[in-house]
Each structure stands twice: as C-alpha cells, then as structure tokens.
A = this chain, B = another copy of it.
Amino acid sequence: MQRRILSRELPTVPPGETVTLAGWIHRRRQLASVSFLVLRDRSGLAQVVARSDDEIACVASLPEETVVEVTGRIVANEAAPGGVEVVEPRITALTEPAATPPVELWRPELTASLPTLLDHAAVTLRHPKLRARAQLAAASLRGLRCRLGELDFTEIQTPKLVEMATESGANVFEVDYFGRTAYLAQSPQLFKQMMVGVHERVFEVGPVFRAEPHDTVRHLAQYTSIDVELGFIRDHRDVLAVLREAVAAMVSGISDYAGDAASLLDVTLPVVPQEIPVIHFADALALVGAPADEPDLEPAHERALSEWALAEHGSDFLAVEGYPMAKRPFYTHPQPDDGRWSNSFDLLFRGLELTTGGQRLHRPSDYRAALARTGQDPAAYTAYLEAFEHGMPPHGGFAIGLERWVGRLVEAPNIREVTLFPRDLHRLAP
C-alpha cells in the first residue's frame, strides 16, 4: 500500500505522479460522462474524477460519508481545490457504505435547526464550518498554553468533586459520593489560589459545572474554563497585563494553527493592543448615562462601552476596573484608596464580557474579616485559609470561558453552537 498523503499536500506533488488519499466522500456529482467525487480529510477537500465506466459505477455505489482510500494520478486543473485533481482513481471502501446523513454535510451552509444539529452532533460536527469552530478553540488553547509556559506558568489539575458548595452555594450539582453528598466544582478558584503558594504562577484548563436552572443562550451546565492565577503582583493591573498576553496568544494561536478555519468562517481576528484600555466602573456608568449607584453593567452598557473603546482607542477590548465590592466575591481585594470599589475588572470583547479577574485578598486577617462580613463560616474554608495563614503573596487572576471566546469570535447567537456536546437544563445526550 502506498503511503497516504493529505489533500493539503496535493499541490506539492508533481503532476503525473500517483498518490493515495483517504477520507470521507464529501460529495458526488454525476454528469453525463464523468463523475466527480470530493474527498474530505482532516486537511481539506480534494477532487477526484471518474471517467471509465468502472470508475463511474464505483463512485455511484458509494454514498456520501463512506470512508474510502483513493489511489490515482495527479493532474493540474485550475478549477479544482488546490489547483490539482486526481484522475484514473482506484477507490477502495474502508468500511460499509454509509447511511444517508441527517443533514447534507456538503452544503456550504447548514440550515438545520439547532436541536437537529445537536441531536446528531457525532455526524453534524463533521461539517467544515462546525469543524472549523472546534479548530478555533483548539488553536486558541495551543497558542495560550505555549505563551503561559514561556511566562513560567505551571499547569495544574484540581478536584472537580468538592465537599462544600462554597463559592456561591447556589446552582451546584450534587453527587452521591460513596454515600455522602459531594458537589461538582463551579470553578477551581480556591485551588488555584492555594497553588499560587506552591508555584507562584498556575493555570488550569478544565470543565466547570453550573446547575443553571434557566434556559438561556449564554449558559451551559458544563463549560471549559481557562483559569490563570499569579503571585507577586502590585495590583490587578499586573493581572490585566498577563490577561493581555493570554488573549494575544489565543489570537496568534488561531493565526498560526487555524488560519484556514478562521478564513472559512469569515472571522476577523481582533488586534490586541499592547496595553488594553481601562476605564473605571464609575466612569463607565457615567459614559453610558447610567445612574451612579448602579451595581452592575447591563448588556446594553457593555455594548455601548465596547463601541466607545473601538471609536476612542481602536480596540476590540476594554477593561472595566473597580467594580463595586458589594457585587464581587468575598476574596476580592478592595481598591486601596476607596473601599467601595474593588481591584477587579471585567474584560469586554466586542460588546460581551469575556473575562472576570482581579486582585485577591492575601492577608489571613483580611480573609477572616471578609468571611465575617459576608456571614460565612470559616470552618467551611479550613484548607483554603491555611494557605493564607502560612504566607501567601499578593496575587490575582482571571478566568476565560473557552466557548464564550469562540462564540464571540464567530458571532454565534447561542453558546451551544460552539460547544461539542452541550449540557443544559434539558440536554444530557449525546
């Protein structure tokens, strides 16, 4: 058997040579005296031309999505993908003839309803445009991890089964844990902070779980959280500087490893400014004409602020710092000169909140006071508090939802469209 080459390698093969391709039959077109077969492999599409009666009969017998191996001769054809096509093919099926797919995967656009796409995800995800979305996610992570490695971050894995529903108490999944009740972790927040005490700079990319009881286009019961945390910062601005590096690396990752996918999806990659513009929460409220005592930004405010950042700073990104302490979790570090505000931020990306981050408390006495203030029992935080009692540096971090990042890039109206096998209030399969 000849070594298989990929469709993307075809243009590098001298015309006249014989090659072997393998992949799925993406499409067939049977004309009067010739049949075209478009083969799909992990690298793209290749055109195969059948002219003899035997070749045409063979193509006719193999439905779309059948997996085949094709050996044939390369000839130049400007109209074919990559400028070459394969002629005089010997086609061998590697499996049984495929059943008719639930949607026509060869059509440039998928018009099926979202439930249909999700119910048949094992097949519909093969569509080049859905596949490309998954490639954006993978390439973003590849770029990100590389950069975090350069910046001396250590990747960690933390427990997803936890004893206490500590961080918010609401919307947690209960697990029968050898007869006791455990909970699925809503975030690795407490663990990543503890691990700053070990490695100074840590990150985790993993599943987080929210028993979100509402059926919205933005929420999933499981999503992929990119969690980063670092020590020895001055304040949240140092965290923002690392977030800037992280986002820039995700964009470079896409350029480097998924450029074709980005083109196919017409994604305009954002330019990440050397320094992300920052506005204070109080100024943000004033800018959008909201009352000065609003505790949070409405979606319409976020959109208006993003438009302002683009017009004023030419940036797709805007950090809003100083969110009211009252709306932030107990471990949030206050703004030193005015305790109503916090040293935390949201990063807006094209009108949507992409990330929440900021400086955390690091003094044990501050933790004791924060828990008392929020009416929480320190006993629920024994291991976490131990880290602070034994010396923790000033630190902070952020979390990016991977699906949210890809969703905003491709302007998906529903987060489920950028999740391989989404989980929500109603959906637990496939």
1/0 per residue, CB under 8 A from B, across A192-204: the answer is: 0011011111000
Does the CB pair B134–A198 fall under 8 Å?
yes
A159 at the interface (CB under 8 A from B): yes
A98 pairs with B178, CB closer than 8 A: no
Task: Select A159's contact among B43, B67, B173, B423, beta carbons within 8 Å.
Answer: B423
Contact B122 A141 (CB under 8 A): no
Per the bound structure, the CA–CA distance linking A234 and B22 in Å amounts to: 12
Residues of A within 8 A of B (CB): 1, 4, 22, 24-25, 41-43, 65-67, 94-96, 98-99, 101-102, 119-123, 125-126, 131, 134-135, 137-138, 141-142, 145-146, 149, 152, 154-164, 173-178, 180, 182, 184, 191, 194-195, 197-201, 206-207, 209, 211, 213, 221-222, 224, 232, 234, 257, 362-365, 382-384, 386-394, 402, 420-421, 423, 425, 428-430
What are 24 A-B contacts with C-beta separation under 8 Å? A22-B232, A25-B391, A43-B152, A67-B392, A67-B393, A99-B389, A99-B390, A120-B386, A122-B197, A126-B197, A134-B199, A138-B156, A142-B149, A157-B207, A157-B420, A158-B420, A160-B222, A161-B423, A161-B428, A162-B429, A173-B175, A174-B176, A175-B176, A382-B429
Q: Which of B41, B94, B161, B224 has a CB less than 8 Å from the CB of A209?
A: B161
For A152, what are the chain B residues with a Cβ–Cβ distance below 8 Å?
A: 42-43
Inter-subunit contact A162/B428 (CB<8 Å)? yes
User: Cβ of A191 and Cβ of B421 under 8 Å apart?
Assistant: yes
Chain B residue numbers with a CB within 8 Å of A213 are 178
Q: In the complex, how many angstroms separate the beta carbon of A203 from the nearest chain B beta carbon? A: 10
Number of copies of this kind of chain in the complex: 2
Q: Which residues of chain B come closer than 8 Å to A206, judged between CB atoms? A: 206-207
B178 engages A175 (CB within 8 Å)? no
**Candidates B41, B66, B390; contact of A123 at CB < 8 Å:** B390
A421 & B67 in contact (Cβ 8 Å cutoff)? no
Q: Which residues of B contact A387 (CB under 8 A)?
A: 122-123
B174 close to A393 (CB less than 8 A): no
Report the minimum CB–CB distance from A65 to chain B (whole Å).
4
Question: How many angstroms from the CA of A390 to the CA of B101 in the assembled complex?
Answer: 6
- What separation, in Å, do the CA atoms of A211 and B123 have in the docked complex? 31
| A154, B421: Cα distance in complex, Å | 16
Given contacts A67-B392, A155-B142, A390-B98, contact A198 B126 (CB under 8 A): yes
Q: Do residues B65 and A177 form an inter-chain contact, with CB atoms below 8 A?
A: no
Q: Which 5 residue pairs are nearest across A and B when measured between Cβ atoms?
A: A383-B430, A98-B391, A65-B391, A42-B200, A122-B387
Are the CB atoms of B392 and A257 closer together than 8 Å?
A: no
Among residues of B, the one whose C-beta sits closest to the C-beta of A153 is B138
In Å, the complex CA distance between A390 and B66 comes to 7
Given contacts A159-B421, A161-B173, A177-B221, 10 further A-B contacts (CB under 8 A): A22-B393, A67-B362, A94-B394, A122-B386, A123-B390, A142-B145, A142-B155, A146-B146, A149-B257, A174-B175
- Contact A96-B364, Cβ < 8 Å, known A122-B194, A134-B198: yes
